[in-house]
Structure 1
Amino acid sequence: MRGSCLAADDLDSGANILRRPLTGQTMRKVLYILGELSDDDVEWLAAHGSREKVKQGHILVTQGKPLSCLYFILDGQFEVSVAGGGRLALVGCGEIIGEISMIDGRPPTATVSALSDGVVLALERSRLQKKLAADIAFAAHFYRAVAHFLAERMRATVQRIGSKQAQDVELDESLLDNVHLAGARFDRILKRFQG
């Protein structure tokens, strides 16, 4: 697709994900999640998720309405906004949408809509919950990754509030230890679902 952040034919190893600048929150969620999961876990995600094309203007997530899927953005640009507060963020390839609702079971606190045509890997919440309940190792990896990401986001938020400036926060060194694995895993997901 036009505007794809990573094209399968451009990726011959997971290290290529590092060629894209990791500014703001771009690509961080996928690195945290896939860096913590095993290859078998990532294969399970790819095998049990479905590739969905999203048209520009489509609302992927609606604030206050229960969420049925966890989404990995494979292509496109999406806006995260809140009623009465406007745009919070722009997200794209490599971002994961719905992880907070997956953890706490509550409806999303923001709306996510497509600013361009895109592609997502959708993983049904009920299917993921069954996997988390049945596979303790997968659950430990998944929850640790989400907790790590949320902790980093909280630190960045506190830093921005304290400095009154939107500054990027450097990636944690422990994440960098697994970034090549995460990049290779995301590459496999992209290759599997392109087309």
Structure 2
Amino acid sequence: MSKVLAILGELSDRDIDWMLVNGTRNQISAGTVLICEGKTIDALYIVLDGSLSVSVAALGNREIGKISSGEVLGEMSFVDGRLPSASVRATEECLILSIPREKLTEKLEQDVLFSLRFYRAITKFLSTRLRGTVNRFSQDPDYLLFQDSTTEEPNQPALENSNLAKSRYDWLMQRLSDT
């Protein structure tokens, strides 16, 4: 959960409202492949509920990690324009907020302040993920690359805007349940 809170803490209420209006809430069944390694993805995803498995073809499609509520998916491909380096499959029924790449790109080009907040949020998110991965591998080289977001990351700094981010997440979930 802390991952999505890190992003929501950087965005404004108006930014989140835009994501809700332009995104689509999708219920996906267990076994559904959300992201396929090496294939273009057309959205940025926020996992609202459920669990997913991350695998890599080079390792014989072995599971290398788990994803759960609060994770953001597709952000690396969105930022660097490269194809996904792993596949992500639902291990149970999941609720996902999909924000179309085309709409998000257009918004980023038209709204400089949104762009600033969005990229700052994604940068902090990726930085936290990288620091957590480096820390875990320094302690245990066999550790999963992506860990369930319910697990606390060692030495993770406290969120500066954690109360605001949590209230925004609750607001986002309430808005989605009303639609």
TM-score (norm 1): 0.80
Report what 2:19 is aligned to.
45
Give 1:160's match in structure 2, choosing from 101, 111, 136: 136
Report what 2:166 is aligned to.
183
For 1:168 and 1:37, how far apart are their aligned partners in 2? 22
Report the alpha carbon displacement of residue 153 of structure 1 after superposing the two structures with TM. Answer: 1.9
CA deviation vs aligned residue, 1:14-61 (integer Å, no higher than 9, x gap)? xxxxxxxxxxxxx23201110100111111111110111101100000
For 2:162 and 2:106, how far apart are their aligned partners in 1? 27
SS in 1 for 2:105: helix
Give the 5 Å matches for 1:1-195: 27-85=1-59, 86-164=62-140, 166=143, 168-173=153-158, 175=159, 177-194=160-177
For 2:130 and 2:49, how far apart are their aligned partners in 1? 26
CA deviation vs aligned residue, 1:120-149 (integer Å, no higher than 9, x gap)? 111100100011111111111111111112
The count of aligned residue pairs is 167
SS in 1 for 2:170: helix
> Quick one: percent identity of the two aligned structures?
39
For 2:138 and 2:13, how far apart are their aligned partners in 1? 39
For 2:90 and 2:133, how far apart are their aligned partners in 1? 25
Over 3 Å counting, the alpha-carbon distance change for 1:33 and 1:136 in structure 2 is same
| RMSD of aligned residue pairs (Cα, Å) | 1.6
SS in 2 for 1:84: helix
TM-score (norm 2): 0.87
SS in 2 for 1:107: coil
Name stretches of at least 5 consecutive residues in structure 2 with no aligned partner: 144-151
For 1:75 and 1:155, how far apart are their aligned partners in 2? 25
Name stretches of at least 5 consecutive residues in structure 1 with no aligned partner: 1-26
Report the alpha carbon displacement of residue 183 of structure 1 after superposing the two structures with TM. Answer: 1.0
